[in-house]
Amino acid sequence: MKPLPCARVPDRIERLAALDRLAEPLQKAARTIVPQGSQLKDLFSGTWLGHPLHPPLTDVVIGTWTSALLLDRLGGRHAEGAADRLVAAGILAAIPTAASGFSDWAELREGNRRVGTVHAVGNTAGLVLNMLSWSARRRGNRGAGIALSTAGYAIAGMSAWLGGHLAFSAGVGVDHTAFEAGPSDWTPVYEAAELEERTLAGAQANGTGILLVRSGETIHALSDTCSHRGCALHEGELDGDTVICPCHGSTFGLDGSIVKGPATSPQPRYQTRVRDGRVEIRA
C-alpha cells in the first residue's frame, strides 16, 4: 500500500525556515518558564514516570473529544449533557498536555522544531475551537457548538498526526539507547594506563559508544549515547559521582540511574575488567 501524499507534509514543514521567527522567542520563553534542571522540567518531561509524559496525556484529550464527537453524532438528545461534559474534560486535560508538550518542544532544533511549532499551533487552534464550542453549548446554541468542536477535532487530529511523526519518524521522546545491545563478549575498548582518574573518556565497542570513568580501583562503563536525545555523554561533565549530559543537562549516576531529567530512561551499564593492560567491557 502506498503512503498517502500527506506523508510528505512533515518534510515540507521541516524546510520552512520562516517558522524560526516564531519559534526562537517562544523557545526562549519556554526555557525561562520551565528551566533546565528544575523539578518542573522533570515533572513535565516524565522523568518520574519512566517515559515521556506528553504522549499519554494526549490520549486523554483525543479520547474525550472523540467520545464527545461520537455522542454528538450518534447519542441522541439524552446524550447531549455527556457530550458537553466530555468537551469540557478534554479542554481541562489539554492544559497539562500543552504544558508538557511545550517543555519537550523547547529542546527541539531545526526541522523537528519547525514540525513541533506547527503541531503546537494546530493544537492551540483545536483547543480554542473546543473552548468556543463549549461556550456555544452553554448558551444553548447546539448546532454551532457541534460544528466548532468538529472543526477543532479535525485540526487537533491533523496536529496529532504531526506529533506522531515527531515520535515515530524523528525519534523525539524515544530512548536513544533502545536498540543498543553492546558486545556480549569481553571486548577491549581502552588502554588502562591512559584512563585518567575521574575523567570522562569516550570509547567504541563494535560501533557502540562507551563512556568510561575510573574511580580508584573501579572502572565504570555506561553507554555514551544519552538516552534522552542521543548526545555524547563523554563531552559532558563529571560532577561527583554523576555525569551531566552536555545537551540538556540530564544527570546520571555512574551506575546509569537517572539523577535528574529531562531523560526518562536510565543509561545502559556495562561490566568492566582489565586484561593485558586494556579495559574490557561487556553487556
Q: Which of 222, 245, 254, 281 touches ligand FES by CB under 6 A?
A: 245
Alpha carbons 116 and 167: distance in angstroms, whole number: 11
Minimum CB separation from ligand FES for residue 36, in Å? 9
Minimum CB separation from ligand FES for residue 11, in Å? 24
- Calculate the dihedral angle through the C-alpha atoms of 50, 52, 56, 62, rounding to the nearest 10 degrees: 180
Per CB under 6 A, does 165 bind ligand FES?
no
Per CB under 6 A, does 41 bind ligand FES?
no
Q: Which of 79, 121, 231, 283 touches ligand FES by CB under 6 A?
A: 231
Alpha carbons 169 and 159: distance in angstroms, whole number: 15
Contacts by 230-237, CB closer than 8 A, 24 or more apart: 230/171, 230/176, 232/202, 233/200, 233/267, 234/200, 234/201, 234/202, 234/209, 235/200, 235/202, 236/200, 237/200
Window 255-274: residues binding ligand FES (CB under 6 A): 263
Minimum CB separation from ligand FES for residue 228, in Å? 3
Minimum CB separation from ligand FES for residue 223, in Å? 11
Binding span for ligand FES by CB under 6 A among 73-81, 158-166, 245-253, 266-274? 245-253
Q: What are phi and psi of 73, to 5 degrees?
A: -85, -35
Chain centre distance of CA 70: 30
Minimum CB separation from ligand FES for residue 45, in Å? 10
Per CB under 6 A, does 229 bind ligand FES?
yes
Minimum CB separation from ligand FES for residue 183, in Å? 23
Per CB under 6 A, does 244 bind ligand FES?
no
Alpha carbons 33 and 58: distance in angstroms, whole number: 21
**Between 59 and 239, CB nearer to ligand FES:** 239
Alpha carbons 99 and 29: distance in angstroms, whole number: 13
Q: Which of 86, 93, 243, 247 touches ligand FES by CB under 6 A?
A: 247
Q: Which of 47, 223, 250, 272 touches ligand FES by CB under 6 A?
A: 250
Task: Provide the binding-site residues for ligand FES, judged by CB under 6 A.
Answer: 226, 228-231, 245, 247-250, 263
